[in-house]
């Protein structure tokens, strides 16, 4: 491409099975004409014809139906819907008109990049957009605003957009609440806007997570679908807009508080990355996110260690003898990491006190944590520790000594949530204090893993003595601290926990190795949570634990095979008092951990697939090795079927012309089925195409029961 552009051009970017086609003009930021299936290698002049092919008929009237809407829609370009940029200089220069726009492109090993810089010389504002097509086929987009004038410029909205075609007639996103995260919801993509906002300083337990638009009825295996996700851990919005002019837009950006972004001369504000994927079904859409995350240098490269977390085993009732006993039993069944949860610091016997005082409690640990850490490491396990670095109890030494370190408004620190308030990490003094306390403990005890919790939404989160809106600065301060800890302590892993699954966006996951899906580990609920979180995160980044027989949040009881078989479909952990289990439960747990270790390399590297159109009570998902030579499928009964027998189930995603031996697999002594089908005795050998199209007869399963099937290519 050339720079500057004198006449409208069309450029074509190709990577990872995806094409991005954009119209470039000398007076506007790019207009995306297509992002989705690879359109092939064609001469540039053929794509140039698209300008004529897609031009609206009739007389040109720029403020009515028009052919082009840029990635930053503007009223001054005739857009009558929600603008992509709102800013002002004391009420002036609020409507930008670009006098020059320069477009440049670059091709690298990781991405194709289109960068456009638009300038309003009179207003003294420069707007830049970056569109990247990544090797995975993901598209990501962000925009930036720079103030060129001596007078400050306030930005109140910056939301890049991506269009989807008319065939995208149905929307999908998530709803939820604490303990019930990631519940899918669908609706028609009608005219108007569908807006999902998060004002709690985090995406939230009700986070949309992704906002997808696709052909009505799209599923995991069929139906073309497009989706966007905002890589930002603070206040945010995702929305879908259907204009009467025919445009359908998916968009996202940070929700900016009053005067939160005010730019001095030369200063710039960049929006978070808006990630976008597409697929012939949701499995392909999710696969692009998984491929991207797995290709990063920061992605966990070693086997994901089995961990035991102490929370549901002891809660705040910590004692050294009990914890050492728990650690010994954890090591005996094959655990590889031991994580000490909330309650280890001075005075912390419940959640009303001491948060922020990161000093080991001498009453519980008279010799510090060293005896416990040595015991854990002597058993061959890594040691992990719980922190909640962003929060403080008013009943704490920290709050009494530094009340000015607590975020609030002119009326004070505001409402409590879990008896806690927010530390102002954007204050360098506060940041340094918290960082130094955590870093010193990591050094002293060779801590390999931090469970980073975040239990209170950022409501009334004012920064500094004037209590100006502080969520933006707080979010960046959290990122900086996580990054600094990992750089100072190579190999340190961080889990993003947010009172459960309230913060698992790709902003925080740039710094965290895994996310805690929910404080509810009810295995029935966790099937849904993991399935829909999997649109964004691969299994190795999802914390999935085996709980006790009676779930601590729902009160529902499940068998150990169902609990364990649910939990291995992620990064396995145990949240159970192992000092109280029976010998038979111990043996069964040991066999499940061995089962996980046998298949975890496949589970954490393969392509995730789901079956559509199976019996209403059954759920089937699988993971297929990158070379297609092996697969594991999990068939779960989550209710009572309306038909009996349940009918055949497909095994999707296998190599069509490869012969596979399919067998039922399970840990020793784990009984799954009521009545097995005939082929369970010795397995069955069939080509992948037949297994996908015709499937196999499933066993008769009771509700909340499951079975694993192993498909091995016959060489």
Assign 55 a pLDDT band (cuts: 50, 70, 90): confident
Q: Look at the pTM and tell me if it is higher than 0.85.
A: yes
Q: Are residues 35 and 164 in contact, defined by beta-carbon separation less than 8 angstroms?
A: no
Rounded distance, CA 265 to CA 516, Å?
42
Return the CATH fold of 307-605.
TIM Barrel (3.20.20)
Phi, psi of 645 (to 5 degrees): -70, 165
Q: Check whether 1 has a pLDDT greater than 70.
A: no
Which structure tokens are listed for 416? Answer: 């409590």
Among residues 70, 457, 34, the alpha carbon closest in space to that of 14 is found at: 34
If one looks up domain 9-295 in CATH, what number appears? 2.70.98.60
Active site annotation includes 361: no
Look at the alpha carbons of 506, 512, 518, 524 in this order and tell me if their dihedral is positive or negative: positive
pLDDT 10s digits, 148-163: 999 999 999 999 999 9
Residue 543 has pLDDT above 70, yes or no: yes
Domain with CATH 2.70.98.60 in the chain: 9-295
CATH code assigned to 608-713: 2.60.40.1180
375-429 residue pLDDT tens: 999 999 999 999 999 999 999 999 999 999 999 999 999 899 899 999 999 999 9
Per-residue model confidence (pLDDT) at position 2: 41
Distance CA 576, CA 597 (A): 19
558/560 Cα distance (integer angstroms): 7
Q: Which positions ≥6 away from 427 have C-beta within 8 Å?
A: 405, 463, 464
Q: How far is CA 687 from the centre of its chain?
A: 35
Domain with CATH 2.60.40.1180 in the chain: 608-713
pLDDT 10s digits, 483-517: 999 999 999 999 999 999 999 999 999 999 999 99
Given 120, 173, 357, 453, which residue is catalytic?
Answer: 453
CA distance 515 to 520: 14
Q: What's residue 60's pLDDT? A: 61
519 is a catalytic site residue: yes
Output the pLDDT for position 52.
85
Q: Are residues 425 and 386 in contact, defined by beta-carbon separation less than 8 angstroms?
A: no
Has residue 650 got a pLDDT over 70? yes
Residue-wise pLDDT tens digits, 562-583 = 999 999 999 999 999 999 999 9
Residue 458 has pLDDT above 80, yes or no: yes
What are the pLDDT digits (tens) for 593-638? Answer: 999 999 999 999 999 999 997 788 999 999 999 999 999 999 999 9
Residue 338 contacts residue 376 (beta carbons within 8 Å): yes
The secondary structure element, H or E, covering residue 269 is strand 268-270
Please calculate the CA angle 159-164-170 and round it to the nearest 5 degrees.
Answer: 105
Measured CA to CA, the distance from residue 292 to residue 273 in angstroms comes to: 14
From 206, 519, 692, 704, the catalytic residue: 519
The predicted pLDDT at position 369 comes to 98
d(CA 610, CA 220): 6
| Over residues 472-479, mean pLDDT | 98
Residue 566 CA to residue 529 CA, distance in Å, equals: 11
Backbone angles phi, psi at 378, to 5 degrees: -65, -25
* Averaged pLDDT for residues 437-457: 97
Query: Residue 317 is encoded by which pair of tokens?
Result: 């009732």
The boundaries of every CATH 3.20.20.70 domain in the chain are: 307-605
SS (H, E, C) 529-570: HHHHHCCCCCHHHEEEEEECCECCCCCCECCHHHHHHHHCCC
Confidence (pLDDT) at 10: 94
């Amino acid at each position: 491409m050339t720079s500057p552009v004198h006449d409208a051009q069309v450029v074509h970017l190709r990577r990872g099975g995806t094409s991005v086609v954009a119209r470039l003009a000398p007076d506007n930021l790019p207009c995306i004409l297509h992002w989705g299936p690879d359109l092939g290698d064609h001469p540039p002049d053929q794509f140039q014809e698209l300008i004529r092919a897609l031009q609206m008929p009739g007389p040109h009237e720029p403020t009515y139906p028009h052919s082009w809407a840029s990635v930053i829609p503007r009223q001054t370009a005739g857009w009558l819907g929600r603008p992509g940029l709102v800013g002002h200089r004391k009420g002036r220069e609020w409507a930008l008109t670009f006098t020059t726009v320069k477009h440049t492109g670059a091709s690298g090993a990781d991405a194709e990049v289109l960068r456009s810089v638009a300038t309003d010389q009179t207003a003294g504002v420069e707007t830049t957009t970056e569109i990247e097509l990544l090797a995975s086929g993901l598209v990501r987009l962000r925009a930036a605003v720079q103030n060129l004038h001596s007078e400050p410029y306030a930005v109140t909205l910056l939301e890049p957009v991506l269009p989807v075609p008319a065939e995208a007639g149905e929307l999908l996103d998530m709803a939820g609440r604490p303990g019930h995260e990631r519940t899918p919801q669908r609706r028609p993509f009608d005219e108007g806007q569908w807006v999902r906002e998060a004002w709690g300083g985090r995406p939230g337990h009700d986070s949309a997570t992704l906002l997808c638009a696709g052909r009505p009825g799209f599923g995991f295996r069929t139906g073309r679908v497009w989706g966007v996700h905002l890589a930002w851990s603070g206040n945010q919005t995702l929305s879908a807009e259907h204009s009467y002019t025919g445009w359908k837009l998916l968009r996202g950006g940070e929700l900016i508080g009053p005067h939160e972004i005010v730019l001095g001369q030369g200063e710039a504000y960049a929006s978070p990355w808006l990630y976008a994927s597409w697929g012939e079904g949701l499995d392909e859409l999710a696969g692009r996110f998984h491929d991207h995350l797995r290709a990063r240098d920061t992605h966990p490269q070693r086997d994901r260690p089995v961990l035991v977390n102490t929370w549901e085993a002891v809660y705040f009732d910590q004692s050294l003898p009990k914890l050492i006993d728990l650690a010994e039993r954890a090591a005996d069944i094959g655990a590889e990491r031991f994580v000490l949860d909330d309650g280890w610091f001075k005075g912390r016997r419940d959640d009303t006190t001491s948060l922020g005082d990161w000093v080991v409690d001498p009453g519980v640990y008279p010799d510090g944590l060293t005896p416990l850490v040595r015991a854990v490491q002597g058993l061959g396990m890594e040691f992990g520790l719980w922190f909640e670095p962003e929060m403080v109890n008013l009943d704490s030494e920290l709050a009494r000594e530094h009340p000015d370190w607590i975020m609030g408004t002119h009326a004070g620190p505001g409402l409590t949530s879990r008896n806690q308030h927010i530390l102002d990490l954007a204050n360098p003094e506060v940041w340094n204090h918290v960082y130094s306390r955590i870093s010193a403990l990591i050094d002293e005890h060779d801590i390999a893993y931090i469970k980073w919790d975040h239990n209170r939404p950022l409501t009334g989160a004012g920064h500094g003595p004037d209590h100006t809106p502080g969520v933006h600065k707080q979010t960046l301060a959290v990122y900086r601290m996580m990054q600094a800890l990992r750089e100072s302590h190579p190999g340190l892993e961080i889990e993003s926990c947010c009172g459960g699954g309230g913060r698992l966006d790709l902003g925080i996951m740039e710094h965290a190795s895994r996310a805690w899906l929910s404080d509810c580990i009810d295995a029935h609920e966790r099937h849904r949570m993991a399935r829909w979180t999997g649109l964004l995160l691969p299994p190795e980044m999802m914390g999935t634990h085996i709980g006790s027989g009676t779930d601590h949040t729902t009160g529902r009881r499940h068998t150990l095979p169902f609990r364990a078989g649910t939990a291995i479909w992620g990064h396995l952990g145990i949240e159970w008092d192992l000092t109280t289990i029976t010998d038979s439960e111990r043996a069964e747990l040991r066999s499940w951990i061995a089962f996980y270790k046998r298949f975890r390399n496949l589970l954490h590297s393969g392509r995730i697939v789901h079956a559509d159109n199976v019996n209403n009570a059954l759920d089937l998902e699988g993971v297929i090795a990158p070379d297609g030579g092996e697969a594991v499928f999990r068939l779960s009964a989550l209710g009572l079927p309306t038909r009996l027998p349940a009918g055949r189930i497909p095994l999707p995603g296998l190599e069509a012309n490869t012969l596979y031996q399919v067998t039922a697999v399970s840990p020793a002594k784990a009984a799954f089925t009521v009545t097995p089908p005939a082929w369970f005795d010795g397995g069955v050998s069939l080509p992948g195409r037949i297994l996908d199209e015709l499937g196999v007869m499933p066993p008769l399963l009771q509700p909340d029961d499951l079975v694993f099937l192993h498909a091995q290519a016959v060489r």
